[in-house]
Amino acid sequence: MDNPLLDFTGLPRFDTVQPEHVAPAIRQLIGENRALIETLTRPETPATWEDFMAPMTDAGERLSRAWGIVGHLHSVNDVPEWREAYNAMLPEVSGFYAELGQNLALFAKLKTLAAGPEYPALATVRRRIVDNDLRDFRLSGAELAEELKPRFKAIQEELSALAAKFSENLLDATNAHAEWVTGETGLAGLPEDVKAAARAAAEKENKPGWKFSLQAPSYIPVMQYAEDRSLRERMYRAYATRAAEFGKPEWNNTPLIEQILSLRAEEAKLLGYANFAEVSLVPKMADTPPQVAVFLRDLAGKAKPFAERDMAELRQFARDELGLTALESWDLAWASEKLKQARYAFSDEEVKQYFPEPKVLTGLFRVIESLFGVTLAPDTAPAWHPDVRFFRILRDGQLVGQFYLDLYARETKRGGAWMDEAITRRRLHAGIQTPVAYLNCNFPAPVNGKPATFSHDDVITLFHECGHGLHHLLTEVEELPVSGIHGVEWDAVELPSQFMENFCWEWDVLAGMTAHAESGETLPRALYDKMIAAKNFQSGMQMLRQIEFGLFDLLLHSEFAPGAGASFMALLDQVRREVAVVIPPEWNRFPQSFSHIFAGGYAAGYFSYKWAEVLSADAFEAFEEAAKVSRTVLDGATGKRFQREILAVGGSRPALDSFKAFRGREPRPDALLRHNGMTA
């Protein structure tokens, strides 16, 4: 208990945990796991649930919880001390999990359980856990010849280290670049809150003028609003070439990508698969790489005419109204914002003033409470930063779960938005262990004592991450390996998150979650109507962009041969020629910052966003149908059904079965195309 990472009695002890606690705690837990495995694999240990599976789950949870805290702090507080502590133990943790997955004695015991008399009598959920474990053992190299296992283990360790390094390089390269504006004229077009944040950033360094960075809350508004074309060009070039050969050699992700691809290809061949995409799809809903390619290309074919129309309109507007004969990549967001304002007579900045943070959270909580019959309330817990807040979820006065909310961008926090688990729901001898989640975003922080205001895109992002959080927090499964998001097919994980985004477009939701930052006035219906009219503005281009990423990822891991002289940049060019309508400059180095597939869990799985979007749009259509009777999409009866059939069951049954239980049929793409304005 002297080491806070070894205290599993409650919430993580962020007030006392220090980098020096990491190595002793993790080494102790790995040692305990190894000792337990030795006991469990002895012939005298019965191959039963209680004697074998339950102790393994308990020991595994302690290690994953402790290491989860370390990994979380590496993501949200990436100071040198935590980076060093994380990287020092990463090889040992990766090595342990690699050897665990190859432990033939464990595999044999599991096969004995699966073939034994107890298996048919186990609850369905427990049989699913055994089946998943058998599959994961095979994917972890358990059936490899003994002489190949050390190489397989080394690959896992190397891939973990390369992923961490990829992420760190990207963060360092992002933080290294700044644009300094010294005169007011250079700020033309920029919103007041963006200028205030840039001024505060300069003051923090005791410098005059305004400092703009490549962090999203600074970068995106510059690209969208700055009249200074040369500023946009410099920012775009810096952003598009992060962690590539143009910067510090030690931050160049190019060789890391080549190493990662080679190692993944080698791993696949060791396991007997033709390529890494085949390995990636084994635990997913989709069956084969060609099936995914057909899915993406079919969607691209439907979206491309709309995208081409979007691009033609933008080029004509830029030429006729903005005097731009050549529309460059650094002009796209700016020209698009101008076109949007001209066509719909409003700007994202105007909308942003109606979304102060307190009102947004109140509105979000109202949606969750109305749909799922729960209550959200502030709670207290030690956190890793003063800006972090903590909440609890109650149903009928009983604790259901808790979550941390870390909303603002910081230099020591990795970019993007994500949900992660701190504690997972399960049944213990003492009762139910309630789940705890981390919800992380990178929104602009409050400036000059005023509440932060969020763009409508920020609001959508927040709802998205809360969808992941609800999947984790509202589960009713009591077995840890399939509780919450555990055991859910990766291409179905985005279903609840993308489903939640739909509510951000509903009047009866927005009317209750807006108040102008100055006047307090709620969002005017006329402005809402303009937002709806503009909802599918450039939706064809946006859909093709996601398909481009997904197809590049799929082909990179299925048809590309690393080390054979071909270039992954050439593959990306080929994909763009096939599906894209926007072709960036030759020097754009997007893959070097594509952390989803090189430092996250989306390798050969980025298509999951679109795959799950078909599911989520179709699921939301049930609420649209209910609203014809109840007059609100916040229909409690449909919400309870969604919770019962999708959220509550977690990974305890196949995602397709859960979808069909909710919808009464197989998923269809019609609702997605309709929601994106892509119907005739």
Is the per-residue pLDDT at 680 higher than 70?
no
End-to-end, the C-alpha distance of the chain in Å comes to 64
Identify the residue whose tokens are 């509550």: 648
How many other CB atoms sit within 10 Å of the CB of residue 31?
Answer: 11
Q: What is the pLDDT of residue 1?
A: 61
Nearest Cα to Cα of residue 635 among 647, 645, 616, 620: 620
User: Is the distance from CB of 332 to CB of 317 less than 8 angstroms?
Assistant: no
Residue 74: what pLDDT? 96
pLDDT reported for residue 600: 87
The domains found in the chain, sorted by start residue, are 4-143 (1.20.1050.40), 177-242 (no CATH), 357-522 (1.10.1370.40)
Buried b (16+ CB within 10 A) or exposed e, 34-53: eeebeebbeeeeebbbeebb
pLDDT at 565 over 90: no
Please report how many Cα atoms fall inside a 13 Å half-sphere around the Cα of residue 465, on the Cβ side.
Answer: 24
pLDDT, tens digit, for every residue of 186-228? 999 999 999 999 999 999 999 999 999 999 999 999 999 999 9
| The two three-digit tokens of residue 537, written as one number | 């503005």
Across 1-22, average pLDDT: 95
How large is the average pLDDT for residues 653-672?
94
Q: Give per-residue pLDDT as tens, 262-301.
A: 999 999 999 999 999 999 999 999 999 999 999 999 999 9
Q: What are phi and psi of 560, to 5 degrees?
A: -80, 135
Share of the chain above pLDDT 90, in %: 94
Across 313-351, b (16+ Cβ under 10 Å) vs e yields ebeebbeeebebeebebbbbbbbbbbbbeeebebebbeb
Q: Say which residue, 346 or 158, is predicted with more confidence.
A: 158
Q: Which pLDDT score is estimated for 448?
A: 87
> Is 407 exposed, middle or buried, given 0-12, 13-18 or 19+ CB atoms closer than 10 A?
buried
Task: Summarize pLDDT for 224-245 with one digit per residue, the tens.
Answer: 999 999 999 999 999 999 999 9
Question: Above 70 in pLDDT, residue 69?
Answer: yes
Quick one: what percent of the chain has pLDDT higher than 70? 100
| Whole-angstrom distance, CA of residue 662 vs CA of residue 671 | 16
Encoded tokens for 214: 């490549």
Computed over every residue of the chain, the mean pLDDT equals: 96
632 pLDDT above the threshold of 90: yes
Q: Encoding tokens for residue 594? A: 């594509």
Q: Are 512 and 356 in contact (CB under 8 A)?
A: no
Residue 170 reports pLDDT greater than 80:
yes
> Are the CB atoms for 473 and 435 separated by under 8 Å?
yes
pLDDT score recorded for residue 601 = 87
The answer to whether the beta carbons of residues 532 and 505 sit under 8 Å apart is yes
Is residue 613 part of the annotated active site? The answer reads no
Give CA separation, 412 vs 20, 73, 74, 438, 560, in Å.
Answer: 19, 10, 9, 17, 35
Taking only the tens place, the pLDDT of each residue in 294-306 is: 999 999 999 999 9
Q: What is the mean pLDDT of residues 650-664?
A: 96
User: For residue 662, what pLDDT band results from cuts at 50, 70 and 90?
Assistant: very high
Identify the active-site residue in 157, 168, 267, 465: 465
Q: What is the pLDDT of residues 378-428, one digit of tens each?
A: 999 999 999 999 999 999 999 999 999 999 999 999 989 999 999 999 999
SS3 label, residue 205: coil
Query: Which amino acid is present at 663?
Result: R
Does residue 381 contact residue 422 with C-beta atoms inside 8 Å?
no
Helix segments in 476-538, DSSP class H:
494-501, 507-510, 525-534
Mean pLDDT confidence for 491-505: 95
Which are the contacts of 251, defined by CB distance < 8 A and separation ≥ 6? 169, 172, 173, 176, 243
CA distance 436 to 421: 6
Global pTM reads: 0.86
